[in-house]
Structure formats: structure tokens, C-alpha cells
Structure 1
Amino acid sequence: MFGLTFEKLLILGVIAAFLIGPERLPLYAGKLRQFVRSLRDFADGAKDRMRDEMGADFDDVEWKKLDPRQYDPRRIIREALLDDGETAPVATAIKPVTESAYAQHKRKLQAGAVPPFDTEAT
């Protein structure tokens, strides 16, 4: 959660206790409890409303499939360009790079040779 560890939260709590003081600390702790409870109620209400609007399909949705962290533009473009059942073309003359770019630059190409190609280049 925002890079905060338990130790950092504990230090922030101790500093807040000193800044707020013992007289106002129970009041602010109660306000924090109310805020957390209202935030939890809001999240539960949104979930219940979504379940009501989607009906029985809400439980059937694969939520992990809709996770934006799994977004891979290369896969999406590949699937959009290829027809059903068609596989990606395989280049037989292209060889993967096994040496550095400097070494490739210094090496002269023979007549009719295929220039090196990096398969992982973007």
C-alpha cells in the first residue's frame, strides 16, 4: 500500500499521537474509524449495486481476465491481424543475433547474404 511498511505506519502513528496530543487523540481515532467504515461501506455498496445491475452474470465474469496489468499490445495486435486458425508466418532465412552490434558492424556482409535480424527488437 503506497510503499508503506508496518514500521513506517507505526512511526507515523507515534508522530501523530505526539502532534495531536492525548486530549484530542480519541476524537481523531474515532473519526479515522468512521472514515474507514464509510469507505468499506461505499466499496460494498458499489459491489452490491454492480451485482444488482448485472444480475446473475456478475458471478460468471472472469475478473482476472479483465485485469489491465495483463494487457499485452503485441498479443492483441497479433490476434487482430490473424484470421481464425491461421498461425504467424515463420521466417526461415532470418537468423537470431548471437553477437554484439559492434561486432556485426565490423563484419562485412557477403554478396547475397541476409543481414542480421534481432527477433526481440521492437
Structure 2
Amino acid sequence: MFGLTFDKLLVIGVIAVFLLGPERLPHYASQLAKLVRNLRNMANGAKDRLRDEMGPDFDDVDWKKLDPRQYDPRRIIREALLDDGDDEQEEAVAIVRPSGESAFARRQRLLEEGKQAPFDNEAT
């Protein structure tokens, strides 16, 4: 959590003992315990409220799949375009993959053959 190891936490604790002193340390330790307890209660309350609002579908959700660290746009697009389940997706793949040569390649070919490149009056 936040790159803190046990050694670093121990050093922070020793520094806190010296800075706060033995008379104020119990008070701040109890405040820290209350803060952690309140944060845990808020997280559990949010989870319970979400479970109440979603109903029985809450248990069916794969939370690991929704983890933002799993987000890879290339994988998502690849899965969406190359899924073999639907005919519509196969048509989308056919639309994405251009058939034939590009306009630039066609222009270069015509120029190499000595012909004039096509000109579109409405394009400019």
C-alpha cells in the first residue's frame, strides 16, 4: 500500500513517538483508530448500498473484469472486431479492413504510368 514496507512503517512510528511524546501518543493513536474504523464503515456502507440498489445482479458481476488496471484499448478493440459470434461484427471487420489500394497509392501509380492524377473539384 503506497510503497510502504514494514520497515518504513516502523521508522514512521519511532519518529511519531519522539515528535508526539508519550503523553499525546495515546490520544493520536485513538484518533487514528477512529479514522480507520470510520473509513471501513463508509466503504462497507457503500458496498451494502450498491448491493441493495443492484439487487441479485451484484453477486454476478465480475469485479476483476472492471478493474481499470486491466484496461487495454488494443485488446478491447481486437475482441470487439474479431469475435466470431455475430455476423454484424464480421461485417464491421470487413468495413475496417480496406479492400484495394488507397487513394495515395492509386495517385502514385497513375503518376508513374504517366497519366494525370484524378482531381476532385468539390474536395477543395
Q: Which of the five TM-score ranges fits, normalised by the shorter chain?
A: 0.5 to 0.7
Question: 2:72: which partner in 1?
Answer: 72
* Number of residues of Structure 1 aligned to a counterpart in Structure 2: 88
* AA of the residue aligned to 1:6: F
Question: 1:40: which partner in 2?
Answer: 40
**Off by >4 Å, runs of 4+ in structure 1:** none
- Kindly name which structure, 1 or 2, has the bigger radius of gyration based on alpha carbons: 2
The secondary structure found in structure 2 opposite 1:50 is helix
Select between 62-71 and 1-10 the one with higher mean Cα deviation: 62-71
The answer as to 2:14 corresponding to 1:14 is yes
Displacement of 1:65 in angstroms is 1.2
> CA separation of 1:83/1:9 partners in 2, compared to 1, >3 Å: closer, same or farther?
closer
Q: Report % sequence identity.
A: 77
Give ranges in structure 2 of 5+ residues lacking alignment.
95-124
The whole-number CA distance in structure 1 between the counterparts of 2:83 and 2:8 is 53
Question: 1:49: which partner in 2?
Answer: 49
The whole-number CA distance in structure 2 between the counterparts of 1:32 and 1:83 is 51
> CA separation of 1:83/1:21 partners in 2, compared to 1, >3 Å: closer, same or farther?
closer
The secondary structure found in structure 2 opposite 1:35 is helix
TM-score by length of 1: 0.65
TM-score by length of 2: 0.64
Question: 2:23: which partner in 1?
Answer: 23
The whole-number CA distance in structure 1 between the counterparts of 2:81 and 2:58 is 31
Give ranges in structure 1 of 5+ residues lacking alignment.
90-122
* AA of the residue aligned to 2:72: D
The whole-number CA distance in structure 2 between the counterparts of 1:18 and 1:12 is 10
- 1:52-103 deviation line (CA, Å, top 9, x unaligned): 00001101111111111221211222233346455x89xxxxxxxxxxxxxx
RMSD: 2.0
The secondary structure found in structure 1 opposite 2:22 is coil
> CA separation of 1:56/1:83 partners in 2, compared to 1, >3 Å: closer, same or farther?
closer
